Structure 1
């Protein structure tokens, strides 16, 4: 068994015929047939069924298919690794995330990544969080950045960041000078929030329902920029992790306040990818993303401590 035989097997299967495979590989058709015959001889089983219409896989062929793909994928990764040693990272990367992440978190990561790896081309797709996993499974993009996991088989979620849900208010708000606020007090304020159909809103509502707590939404929108606008105008309060608010907190346009006896689950960020389909360039981005996000969080936390203590 050799790579030529495996590559020919995949080409015949994908093209649907020996004739088309020969054309794609620039080989005589007898050579294609010979390679398939040799592969089947070594495996001791038939892999392909010839007949009217497209060539089909036998049951043994279906079993062999994912391994054949994995072998060629590993070879491709090896070639990419060799290229990076001599020339730096090259290739194409496609990423999916929600609009808020793309607008307020990803730019900082992308600035440093594109600076360090100028020969990598990147596509960024933005979708609702509920759509990301479905599109990932359909191979619409390589990596997904999401705040939620699912039970879909074949999907891997790598945790990148975990943080507490905080209360975000304007510097002019009556809670801004306090170190913490009770949840019951918060819910008496005008609440700015995401729409009910979003997963983040569902998390908030499910948690409050467990304690028989209710609130009145002042503004519901999936546009984080609009929420920030009304927060800065002291028109309400917002419950969120601090990741999406780092710049505003750093510039003292917004203030984060702890929630006493905080009942909310941690707000998390995950990198999602399909099982056994993580390539070398994907690893490179994940590592860079993780390092940059955690570095940014650490820097902003220190800035917040310095501001709170009056240290210059």
Structure 2
């Protein structure tokens, strides 16, 4: 087996479908099937079985997929440390970032870092903070930028604190929110719990939800068209939105804040590209 075999097995195990795995690998389905058949001949066993709608891995296939994932990680670590032995900052920075941070903050950060360290390449994963935490725990990424508070046993640095805001097309009285149409959006449990905690602190009845949207940007567009109000993190707001924003506070006057953390394993500090990025982002005003 070589690196291409490991990646093929890992991708197929994730997709449980040969055609989708081939698309992810940018190869034809016959080419992938041929490679998999050679692996089965090499090990003298079936790796998977065809079932309705896809495939199921055999016990031997599951073991092989686990081995492939482990070897991919070891190879990546070896590449990282080999590049790190040189006197210049270079290599691939594997970074995971929450979607909002990736959209509103990360491009500018990566551009400035790239200008200072042009030999560093980026491999970036974005998604909900819970997804980034999983990538960090499995060492798929070296650094994770997460929003909200999560249990983490490695190193972490507080990058930024921002306020949650009620947004509306027109002026509203916060004391009358229970009577105003409210627009929800899908988000991770950390933000949802923060919003729910504030609402329960201020009101004894639930919001009058009249619309559910798939993401925050869609929700904001609905608010722009005066279809209701919503609550968004401050990072999502732009001057061009032309919306009324109200910084939220609890009954005791304490502002409702959300933290953004940079998390990483201490061993990652041995890599110059990672250490330089941590120093770089900590010096920025976010």
TM-score interval (norm. to shorter): 0.5 to 0.7
Shift of 1:200: 0.9
Give the structure 2 partner of residue 270 of structure 1. 261
User: Measured at CA, do residues 197 and 101 of structure 1 come closer, stay the same or move farther in structure 2, by a change above 3 Å?
Assistant: closer
Task: Please say if residues 248 and 255 of structure 2, whose CA atoms lie closer than 8 Å, have aligned partners that are also in contact.
Answer: no
1:164 match: secondary structure:
strand
Q: 1:282 to 1:197 in 2, by over 3 A?
A: closer
Give the SS at the match of 1:231.
Answer: helix
Spell out structure 1 runs of 4+ moving beyond 4 A: 75-78, 260-264
Shift of 1:144: 0.7
Q: Considering only CA atoms, is the larger Rg found in Structure 1 or Structure 2?
A: 1
Give, in angstroms, the shift of residue 145 of structure 1. 0.8
Map of 2:224 onto structure 1: 232
Quote the Cα distance in structure 2 between the aligned partners of 1:253 and 1:290.
Answer: 31
1:160 equivalent in structure 2: 159
Aligned equivalent of 1:289, options 268, 281, 285: 281
Given the alignment of the two structures, is residue 209 of structure 1 paired with residue 206 of structure 2, yes or no?
no
For the residues of structure 1 that align with 2:210 and 2:118, how far apart are their CA atoms? 45
Give the Cα separation in 1 of the matches to 2:128 and 2:235.
Answer: 18
Aligned residues: 205
Q: Distance in 2 between matches of 1:126 and 1:271?
A: 14
How far residue 95 of structure 1 moved from its aligned partner, in angstroms, is 0.8
Tell me the SS of whatever aligns to 1:206. helix
1:90 is aligned to 2:90: yes
Displacement after TM superposition at 1:97 (Å): 1.8
Mapping 1:169-208, distance limit 5 Å: 169-170=168-169, 173-175=170-172, 182=174, 184-195=175-186, 198-208=189-199
Q: Is the 8 A contact 1:145 1:269 kept in 2?
A: yes
Matches within 5 A, 1:46-125: 79=85, 82-83=87-88, 89-125=89-125
Tell me how far apart the structure 2 counterparts of residues 189 and 207 of structure 1 sit (CA, whole Å): 17
- The alpha carbon displacement at 1:132 in A equals 1.8
C-alpha deviations, 1:136-193, integer Å up to 9, x for none?
111011111111232243x2221000122222233xx124xxxxx53x3334322223
- The structure richer in strand per residue is 2
How big is each residue's C-alpha offset from its partner over 1:243-267, in whole Å with a ceiling of 9 and x where there is no partner? 122xx22x35334223365566411
Contact 1:109 1:293 in 2 (8 A): no
Distance 1:207 1:174, change over 3 A: closer
Match of 1:254 in 2: 243
CA deviation after TM superposition for structure 1 residue 216, in Å = 2.0
CA offset digits 1:45-77 (Å, max 9, x no partner): xxxxxxxxxxxxxxxxxxxxxxxxxxx9xx879
Match of 1:280 in 2: 272
Structure 1: any 5+ residue segments left out of the alignment? 1-71, 84-88, 176-180, 295-312
Matched-pair contact (CA < 8 Å) for 2:148–2:258: no
Could you list the runs of 5+ residues in structure 2 that have no partner in the other structure?
A: 1-77
Structure 1 partner of 2:141: 141
1:125 alignment partner, SS class = strand
Preserved CA contact (<8 Å) 1:129 1:146: yes
Distance in structure 2 (CA, Å) of the matches to 1:216 and 1:196: 18
Q: Normalization by structure 1: what TM-score?
A: 0.56
Rounded to whole Å, the distance in 2 between the matches of 1:290 and 1:207 is 30
